[in-house]
Amino acid sequence: MKPIRIVGGGLAGLTLGIGLRRYEVPVSIVEAGQYPRHRVCGEFISGQGQQVLVHLGLEEKLREAGLRPATNVRFYLDPAPEVEQTLPQPGWCLSRHILDELLAREFQRLGGELHERERWSEPMCGEGIVRASGRRVQPLVEGWRFFALKAHVRGVELAADLEMHFVPSGYVGICRLAGDVVNVCGLFRSRTVEPDLARRWPEWLHGPSSSSLHRRLAPATFLRESFCSVAAFSLQPQRASAQAECCVGDALTMIPPVTGNGMSMAFESAEIAAPLLAAYSRNDSSWLEVQQQVARECDAAFATRLRWARLLQKGLFHASVRAALGFVVVHPAAWSRGLFANTR
């Protein structure tokens, strides 16, 4: 069988590697970092990605590793009253520090070849190469610089399994993890470069002093070793069929984190690609046929949610749209049939 090389060992790359090993395809993953590691992530799995992990036989291992179910979410749209909703479909919460390590070792257990702390130096558009190396760099989007921050904290009591706090410069999601640890992850934007972000990141995650977010995190103890950040990315939808490389996960396209569907899309794109790449490995399809089919199926699977997510993302930075969102979330039928359903 022909080998497959995956560039990037994040969620999509590792899940694809595990899927291909289940087809007995020879696979190697090249990852610049090492495991375990913290990554900027909401650490919330919602949508069809849960079923991908079930199909791979990983659900029990995830539960043993500390996976927590999330059944409700509370929204804070200051100065509007807070609103709580039951999720139409329960989500899963699990630290990326644990999840990436678990997936990496499962890939190796199945016979995959993992190269940690190694950077890919060849072109990514070659035959048998899959790009799973994360976001595509874009410093400015319509004059704005987007950046995301994440850290774990202790000493915080949440009012729901998930909390979404909206502040003038962005939004912050908070979820419960195993033990007494809480994940805090925020997306922000700025017209200018923030040169002292490495020092001031707790201020950004705390939010304005008058906000519900600030009050919630006032007693928090930030675990500084868990802090990580990422910047220079675009949340504009990208079509896989417009790219010269075979891509999965964020390398294909990113969805705004407010939807809580980014992790799921990484898992789903890997599940779409695995049987098609296995066909190439068996010489049943050409590389060009497989690349095009992966792109077509990913575009079809994600088009609707990306379109809705783009509208939601743009609207969240406008006060009038936030007010309208407040109306939507207080009506369970509108929430379940609308925003939730169409961003998954």
DSSP 3-state of 212: helix
172 pLDDT above the threshold of 60: yes
Q: Is the pLDDT of residue 106 over 80?
A: yes
End-to-end CA distance of the chain: 35
**pLDDT tens digits, residue range 114-171?**
999 999 999 888 999 999 997 778 888 889 999 999 999 999 999 999 999 999 899 9
Q: Which of 128-137, 190-199, 265-274 has the highest mean pLDDT?
A: 265-274
In the chain, the amino acid numbered 130 is V
Asked whether the whole model's pTM tops 0.75, one would answer: yes
Q: Would you list the DSSP string of 231-284?
A: ESB--S---GGG-SSEE-GGGT----GGGS-HHHHHHHHHHHHHHHHHHHHTTS
Dig out the tokens for 48 from the structure.
């069809």
Distance of alpha carbon 156 from alpha carbon 158, whole angstroms: 6
Q: How many CB atoms lie within 10 A of CB 177?
A: 18
User: Is the preceding omega at residue 90 within 30 degrees of 0, hence cis?
Assistant: no
Task: Please write the tens of the pLDDT for every residue from 294-340.
Answer: 999 999 999 999 999 998 888 877 766 666 665 555 555 555 556 67
Rounded to whole angstroms, the Cα distance separating 54 from 52 reads: 5
**If pLDDT is split at 50, 70 and 90, which confidence band does 236 have?**
confident
Q: Which one, of 321, 313, 320, 328, lies nearest residue 83 by Cα?
A: 328
Q: Report which DSSP code applies to 56.
A: T
The token pair at 31 is 């990852």
Superfamily, domain 4-139+234-342: FAD/NAD(P)-binding domain (3.50.50.60)
Find which of 102-111, 254-263, 310-319 is predicted with most confidence, using mean pLDDT: 102-111
Overall average pLDDT of the 23-30 stretch: 98
Q: How confident is the model at residue 245 (pLDDT cuts 50, 70, 90)?
A: very high
Q: Using the 8-state DSSP alphabet, how is residue 159 labeled?
A: S
- Is pLDDT above 80 for 271? yes
101 — phi, psi (to 5°)?
-60, -45
3-state secondary structure 273-328: HHHHHHHHHCCCCCHHHHHHHHHHHHHHHHHHHHHHHHHHHHHCCCHHHHHHHHHH
pLDDT (0 to 100) of residue 322: 61
For the chain, the structural domain boundaries read 4-139+234-342
Q: Choose between 283 and 135: higher pLDDT.
A: 283
Tell me the per-residue pLDDT of 31-66, one tens digit each, with 9 for 90 and over.
999 999 999 999 999 989 999 999 999 999 999 999
CB 64 within 8 A of CB 76: no
